[in-house]
Chains A and B, each alone.
Chain A
Amino acid sequence: MSAESTKRPLGQWLVLGTGVTLLGLGEYLGLFWAPPEMAMGDVMRIIYVHVPSGWLALVAFLSTAIFSGLYLRTKTPRYDHIADASAKTGTVFNAMSLATGMIWAKPTWGVWWSWDPRLSFTLIMFLLYVAYSALRRFVDDTESRARWAAVYGIFASVSLPLVYYSANWFRSLHQPHSTPQTVDASMKLPLRINAFAFLFLMIWFIWRRYELLRADAAHESTPPPA
């Protein structure tokens, strides 16, 4: 173990450890312990990855919106880094929910993709946060970059309720939200455990990305050697 990694805060190791342990447990329960679904059979087990990644993408983007607002209020660079780290992590989770959704759609709906409200809005959300990252790349000045990205981060967050409620508001091919009352306990348990596993892993990703951004910022503000 290098000197660099031993300096890592203990909390970060705990978050990673908890996330990985829960993920292992959740995947085991989801793949082997929970019963196959009545109509879809084993195909439905992808739900234990698909649903948590969708949820956590929304949580990460919500964090982008909150920390963007905090940045505009206080102009503290730390908040900008957290907003950026959350957006990048959320984009990965968002891509994962799109990909698993498509893999699930092929055997059950017969197509990879359908232009249905839930799917369309989720794709738009993905594009919005890719655009958020693109915007950061196009601005050199650190302070303007943080301000403009924060504004766009708040603009983009308007899509979150549209994505979340689209399956219930519109006539959608995507099924409406399941609730704990409509899901059997044997499926609820692995889903819940996986959701927490994804939450811890997401926090770990954001934390690591945040450290990288801090290091980058420190590097940028250091004058080059004469």
Chain B
Amino acid sequence: MNATLFATLVAIVKKDLLIEWRTRARLSALVFFSVAALLMFSFALGADIQTMRDHAGGYLWLGLLFASVLALSEAFRVEAENRALEAVLLTPADARAVYLGKALANALLLLLLGALLVPMMLVLYDVGLDGPLHALRLLAVVALGVFAISAPGTLLAAISTNAKSKDLLLPVLLFPLLVPVLLAAVKATALVIAGDPMGDAFTWLSLLVAFNVVYWALGFLLFPSVVDE
């Protein structure tokens, strides 16, 4: 990666995280939404603690997935207002670096959300973790999953923000694409929580890594075509 590309990337990440920090109301609303979603799953299911414990990973990822759609469309609504994205692209900045920066900022935001939701999951669904190493492994799965959501999500949010009925279009475009991520992340999370006697976790983690590689690369290559005016 050459130096200018990297500098642009860092500048965009800084800018996005600064906006997030200065409009903390948005971030807290997002956290509230995801916690409410986790609560609703447990209400919808009835208070069967064994079922909740067994499916904790699934609820966690559904909560994260729904929250990520809101977070992603918010991230681009800010850019669409006052045509801020166009202004960024008018600078000599490489559009590909802008994509990497925005996708990385979104991923970090979702990672923060995930890190807040995991303790909620442990409490609400009575999942036990033994020790900080176990928690770290769980966080690693969450990181792989949210990076996989952010790569195609950022690019598709850039598309849907400029289309009609954008709030409807983003999940329509994104959800079918993310089914492999949901599947792999839920399985890997469940294996980390409940233990992995057969050594299956590696398969699901490699699927997540492969998804990340493919979509970060595709996003990097295709983003200039998305914003090309």
Contact = CB atoms under 8 A, between A and B. Distances in A.
B155 A131 contact: no
Interface string A149-174: 01110111010001000000000000
B177 A151 contact: no
B214 A158 contact: yes
Contacts of B179: 120, 124
Contacts of A152: 156, 159, 173
A140 B164 contact: yes
> Which interface class (under 10, 10 to 19, 20 to 34, 35 or more) fits A?
20 to 34
B81 interface: no
Contacts of A131: 172-173, 176
Interface in B72-102: none
Contacts of A127: 175-176
A138 interface: yes
30 contacts: A72-B222, A72-B225, A124-B180, A127-B175, A127-B176, A128-B176, A128-B177, A134-B169, A135-B159, A135-B163, A135-B169, A138-B160, A138-B163, A138-B164, A139-B163, A147-B225, A147-B228, A148-B159, A150-B225, A151-B155, A151-B159, A151-B222, A151-B225, A151-B226, A152-B159, A155-B215, A155-B222, A156-B177, A158-B214, A162-B180
Given A131-B172, A147-B225, A151-B155, 17 more contacts: A72-B225, A128-B176, A128-B177, A131-B173, A131-B176, A138-B165, A139-B164, A140-B164, A147-B226, A148-B163, A150-B225, A151-B225, A152-B156, A154-B218, A155-B152, A155-B155, A155-B156
Interface of B: 152, 155-156, 159-160, 162-165, 169, 172-173, 175-177, 179-180, 214-215, 218, 222, 225-226, 228
